[in-house]
Amino acid sequence: EAGVTQFPSHSVIEKGQTVTLRCDPISGHDNLYWYRRVMGKEIKFLLHFVKESKQDESGMPNNRFLAERTGGTYSTLKVQPAELEDSGVYFCASSQGGGGALNEQFFGPGTRLTVL
Amino acid sequence: QKEVEQDPGPLSVPEGAIVSLNCTYSNSAFQYFMWYRQYSRKGPELLMYTYSSGNKEDGRFTAQVDKSSKYISLFIRDSQPSDSATYLCAMSASSTGFQKLVFGTGTRLLVSP
């Protein structure tokens, strides 16, 4: 079974440009999460989708970040316009969902974003 | 103040040593306590989790949670070079399992042959 995949693995852009990160969760997983790790800091929660709906977006840093999950399958995270402080590794995770399940989150390898 | 504190290391030990990794936390609402292992250029993978206080053992790994002290530990017995990785503690306040994880910064472990 394929794990969580993320694309691209690495993106280098200039300040002010737009970047879109993609996450493909494990097939059948209803829950999809985005996390971010900036240099030297801990991994931080950004938001949580249940199917196509945003369940919790309390970790989104500002309105330059837009996450979507059309059709409840893959998700995109767009940063527009990118700033220097957006550099870091963006992780996506998915979990199965459903009542009574622990909903272990399986993480993708991350997208390393560098804003110059 | 961070919700979860973890010494970043690195922690260097010889093969066969017992390793102790620790985290402290401030949010008493945390109910699930997890340890993730992360190899370079990979995503975190779940090693073990504990619900509320107590101990849990899985092979060479033992997880302990002391909610009264807000302190969690991971012990690795007979450490191997393949255990060299970054170990992240994570916590969740959700009563329904792993939601909105709060991570420590991770401790880098190096096990030398």
CA distance B80 to chain A (A): 24
Please report how many Cα atoms fall inside a 13 Å half-sphere around the Cα of residue B3, on the Cβ side: 16
Task: Find the CB nearest A107 among B6, B44, B106.
Answer: B44
Q: Measure the CA–CA gap between A95 and A27, rounded to whole angstroms.
A: 10
Q: Which of B103, B23, B34 is nearest to B71 (CA)?
A: B23
Alpha-carbon distance of B90 to A56, in angstroms, equals 18
**Which residues of B sit within 8 Å Cβ distance of A?**
2, 4, 6, 36, 41-46, 49, 88, 90, 96-106
pLDDT number for residue A109 = 97
Give the pLDDT of residue B51: 87
Q: Give me the residue from B98, B104, B106 closest to A95, CB to CB.
A: B98
In three-state secondary structure terms, A16 is coil
User: According to the model, what pLDDT value does residue A1 have?
Assistant: 65
pLDDT digits (tens, 9 = 90+) for A31-78: 999 999 998 899 999 999 999 999 999 999 999 999 999 888 999 999
- Average pLDDT over every residue of A15-30: 96
Residue by residue, what is the 3-state secondary structure of A47-106?
A: EEEECCEEEECCCCCCCCEEEECHHHCCEEEEECCCCHHHCEEEEEEEECCCCCCCCCCE
> What is the model's pLDDT at position B111?
97
| Average pLDDT of chain B to the nearest whole number | 94
A69-86, pLDDT tens digit by residue? 988 899 999 999 999 999
A94 in reach of chain B (CB within 8 A): no
Tally of CB atoms within 10 A around A116: 10
Q: Which residues pair with B102 in a beta bridge?
A: B91
pLDDT at A101 over 70: no
Quickly state the pLDDT bin for A99 (edges 50, 70, 90): low
Region B71-96 average pLDDT: 94
Q: Any idea what DSSP says for residue A25? A: P
Of A40, A58, A105, which has the smallest distance from its Cβ to B98's Cβ? A105
- Residues B1-23 have pLDDT tens digits of 789 999 988 999 999 999 999 99
> Would you state the pLDDT for residue A17?
97
Query: A102 vs B98: CB contact, 8 Å cut-off?
Result: yes
